[in-house]
Structure 1
Amino acid sequence: MPEPSAGTGTTRLNKRMAELGLCSRREADDWIARGWVRVDGTVAVMGLQVGPGARIEIDPRARGQQREQVTILLHKPIGYVSGQAEDGHEPAVVLVQGRNRWKEDRSPHRFAPAQLKGLAPAGRLDIDSTGLLVLTQDGRVARQLIGEDSGVEKEYLVRVAFGTVTANVQAAFPTAQLPRLRHGLALDGQPLKPARVDWQNPEQLRFVLTEGKKRQIRRMCELVGLKVVGLKRVRIGRVTLGNLPLGQWRYLGPEERF
């Protein structure tokens, strides 16, 4: 079924609900199937097309289900993949266990195995990278962080080498190349969005990106003659890694927003 329908100005209901930030498309389909969604007073059916002025009402049971969903912040170690297990490497979600919860987590949530159902990474962090990884059951969070229109910043600390130079790399690296990292590079035939890139110290760069192509920072660095020897994500939006210990996790607090 087309989205939106040609010439009618309508949009499929699940897409409209996601655009309004009510839920993810998958959640919308689940709620519609359960009879929890009404459009202009009538129980919605799967595949319904709605106009921009349609009145969408959500059953309180759906809201209750949504409130129980959790978002987890994990300090991912090197050696774990973000998503599904691959090439013999375990997915980072295996670290989400009661014994790995940060003892300083002040969230009122109590850990339960049901929280692992549907828990998926909202963005990737390479196997050889460490730092902040978001795992969520909430489709709204996933859309905010990895949706097509997402502009949420991700901040990284990146240790680099330039040829055989591993100390005071800043002095050896051509000054004119730094602006290329900020804007002007392309990957996979597409220009990259502007980035903020500055020296954090003589061996480490600080990157702030608003997109996340596969192995983007490593590939960007290669284009200007740098080799990444260490990469750590320290912030996503307004949420920072902070003092969260390596291999441990905490819940996203109710007052926190990306």
Structure 2
Amino acid sequence: MRLQKYMAKCGVASRRKSEKMIDDGLVSVNEKIVTRQGINVDPDKDVVRVNKKIIKLEENKIYIMLNKPLGYVTTTDDERNRKIIIDLIEGVKERIYPVGRLDMDTSGLILLTNDGNVTNKITHPRNEVIKKYIAIVEGTPNKSELTKFRKGIMIDGKKTSPASIKIVKNYENESILEIEINEGRNRQVRKMCEAINHPIKKLKRVSIGEIDIGGLQFGEWRYLDDEEMKYILSL
């Protein structure tokens, strides 16, 4: 089995992230650091370590949704000792990791699993899984700004895919927007709103594809139900 595929199946990260971890020299096979892509490993014989920790295939697959509070980072550990979302998941023995990420100053829906195949399904650009956000921004976008947002905006030297945006409610100095994107670039929604001159004051993700945050309160989590799992596996 290819090393990056094995890492994904062990729940370390998606295949693409696993490849980067290999490039960064964080992975060893039988006590030797590996930086070359595409090597094969035997799950029954080889000892694979990531960040010096042995990884193994998890028999029990876990699928969780969490309403991430502000102030938490979406990683499994943090060198700067910031609060991590894994600390909010109690009673789960399996090694799980977040699917994609949310900024520290963004709240809302995040999925966690130890199933690398499901992670790949949700995060791979070809599947174009829609992520919906509710944003409070400064001022109210006008018609031309909304059109610019919908057609795609140049951020970080690359144009975003077409997106959806509508005004839910507007006040004197701010407005509430519903935004949908099918990408997952770094701080994308914030950068897009800044590009149309309406910086975000507050941002929350409320759905990923057909999986909705519902009545889940900040810091609460639950396992995905049968309908949600059926949707993920259908991608």
TM-score by length of 1: 0.65
Structure 1 unpaired stretches of 5+? 1-12, 36-61, 98-110, 163-168
| Residue 230 of structure 1: how far off its partner (Å) | 0.7
2:82 to 72, 80, 89: 89
Identity, % of aligned positions: 32
Residues 243, 226 of structure 1: alpha-carbon distance in 2 compared, 3 angstrom cutoff: same
| Residue 175 of structure 1: how far off its partner (Å) | 1.8
The one-character-per-residue Cα deviations of 1:154-194 (angstroms, maximum 9, x if unpaired) are 000011113xxxxxx3xxx3321101111131111111111
The one-character-per-residue Cα deviations of 1:109-151 (angstroms, maximum 9, x if unpaired) are xx44x22x1x111111111111001111111111012235331
Q: Secondary structure at the match of 1:200?
A: strand
- Between the two proteins, the alignment pairs up a number of residues equal to 187
1:142 to 103, 119, 126: 119
**Other-structure match for 1:210:** 182
The one-character-per-residue Cα deviations of 1:67-90 (angstroms, maximum 9, x if unpaired) are x11011110000001113254421
**Other-structure match for 2:26:** none
**Other-structure match for 2:143:** 175
**Other-structure match for 1:239:** 211
Decide which structure has the larger Cα Rg and report it: 1
**Other-structure match for 1:186:** 154
Q: Which runs of 4+ in 1 moved over 3 A?
A: 23-26, 29-32
**Other-structure match for 1:78:** 70
Checking the alignment, whether the CA contact within 8 Å between 1:143 and 1:150 is kept in structure 2 is no
TM-score by length of 2: 0.71
Question: Quick one: distance in 2 between partners of 1:192 and 1:141?
Answer: 24
| Residue 201 of structure 1: how far off its partner (Å) | 1.7
1:226 aligns with 2:198: yes
2:101 to 110, 120, 124: 124
Counterparts of 1:101-116 in structure 2 under 5 Å? Answer: 111-112=91-92, 114-115=93-94
The one-character-per-residue Cα deviations of 1:24-50 (angstroms, maximum 9, x if unpaired) are 757xx9984228xxxxxxxxxxxxxxx
